[in-house]
Structure 1
């Protein structure tokens, strides 16, 4: 009997250890990955401070390959590229850092310095009022949250309409609530749908080539409408394997070779 109980206990303990290892392995792997990334980042920073900018870029690339990113990582890599006179990559990584935090003084200062090296200067189109309003709203809630909130107001509106049909909730205040509910519901749902169709912050890319031809058509033999240079941030309308349709800050559009761009 004792031997049988001992056998059951050993089997249970073995199963428990298997389950424990199964759940701990991802955590151990993640911890090891974080340690390796931290070591690579520290190595890159030492190389950056010692003047080995190419080595610093290689170390920072190792961190990015592990799927990690931070303001410090992107900012330091931008500095390394800037020291290597790779203005396009410097702008690219400073813009990525700005996406994480758009009010970091270090990033803003570095970006101001780097942009003085960008050859192209275009007048920017004014941001439409609707887009400004959309950005303010999306800064508070996501498109999904707006959609669910709009549906919630719509359901409340349906409840008030149903009660009014039954002869209840027919006062002046109830009518005002129905009107406000309808307006808020339509506005929120419209905002949610428009944010997916017309993003408040369109996709952008940076020109990495020293000079790139802007074509009228996705064909190297088509007419060249402009020449754009390294470091210019452009709107990314569509992108294929060979060609990308971009929009310049002044609203002009054209086709550029995809390999000459770097995504932000």
Structure 2
């Protein structure tokens, strides 16, 4: 009991510090600053203030800019692992997890750098092929040129996909304690399911003050937009 009282007193003393830190970070965001570290720090501050839904929203914002941000990824997994809807998320096998982790590691900056390097390698191999002695066997330079072109196209395609997802992120987070997913976009419609704070949803479309969302277990229903925190706003 004594330890609990000391903890509550310490929390009350630290709360103004967290609020002050949040105000500074929020002012930076409102001024137009957008970077992964800022959103990560906002997520941590919201978690310290007890707002798990907003914490998840800002961790997702950080990962939308930098998918390789290890702090945001670790904290996102931690918070969602404590949420009431943690059992809704699908369990991935080892190979799929490894593939997703590799894709996350290749953020936009890394993909752009690798694509530029591969383009120069392709240009060099193409020059080698064009000026290769016509009397010699050309199989080796043709093979190397073809392989470098293929790898370059793969990474360029990944860059395009990741950039499109960065600009058109359709994820949202439940920022209220709970909400009903309805069959139709009205309050008197039939309830399909219930989602809780910090649950990550996929927005399929929006209509007036409602959003059609898909839960981690694949159920789709309408939720009032005011209850959601959108990754792309």
TM over 0.5: yes
Aligned to 1:185: 152
- The 8 Å contact of residues 125 and 141 in structure 2, kept in 1 or not, is answered as no
Q: How do residues 8-27 of structure 1 correspond to structure 2 at under 5 angstroms?
A: none
Give TM-score, length-normalised by structure 1. Answer: 0.56
- The 8 Å contact of residues 154 and 182 in structure 1, kept in 2 or not, is answered as yes
Q: Note closer, same or farther for the CA distance 1:258–1:134 as it changes in structure 2 (3 Å cut).
A: same
Unaligned runs of 5+ in 1: 1-46
Give the drift of 1:228: 0.9
Give the drift of 1:124: 1.8
- The 8 Å contact of residues 215 and 226 in structure 1, kept in 2 or not, is answered as yes
Aligned to 1:257: 224
Aligned to 1:163: 131
- The 8 Å contact of residues 56 and 198 in structure 2, kept in 1 or not, is answered as yes
Aligned to 1:123: 89
Output the CA distance in 2 between the equivalents of 1:132 and 1:76. Answer: 26
- The 8 Å contact of residues 78 and 94 in structure 1, kept in 2 or not, is answered as no
Give the drift of 1:229: 1.5
| Structure having the higher Rg | 1
2:141 counterpart of 1:174: yes
Q: Note closer, same or farther for the CA distance 1:191–1:59 as it changes in structure 2 (3 Å cut).
A: closer
Q: Note closer, same or farther for the CA distance 1:87–1:240 as it changes in structure 2 (3 Å cut).
A: same
Q: Note closer, same or farther for the CA distance 1:114–1:124 as it changes in structure 2 (3 Å cut).
A: closer
Report how many aligned residue pairs link the two structures.
Answer: 207
Give the drift of 1:195: 2.3
One of 21, 44, 53 as aligned partner of 1:75: 44
C-alpha distance after superposition, 1:223-261 (max 9, x if no partner): 432111122122345556623343322233333222101
2:70 counterpart of 1:102: yes
Q: How do residues 175-214 of structure 1 correspond to structure 2 at under 5 angstroms?
A: 175-197=142-164, 203-214=170-181
Give TM-score, length-normalised by structure 2. Answer: 0.62
C-alpha distance after superposition, 1:168-205 (max 9, x if no partner): 77444323322322322232222223323456x95533
Give the drift of 1:112: 4.1
Unaligned runs of 5+ in 2: 1-9
Output the CA distance in 2 between the equivalents of 1:260 and 1:73. Answer: 19
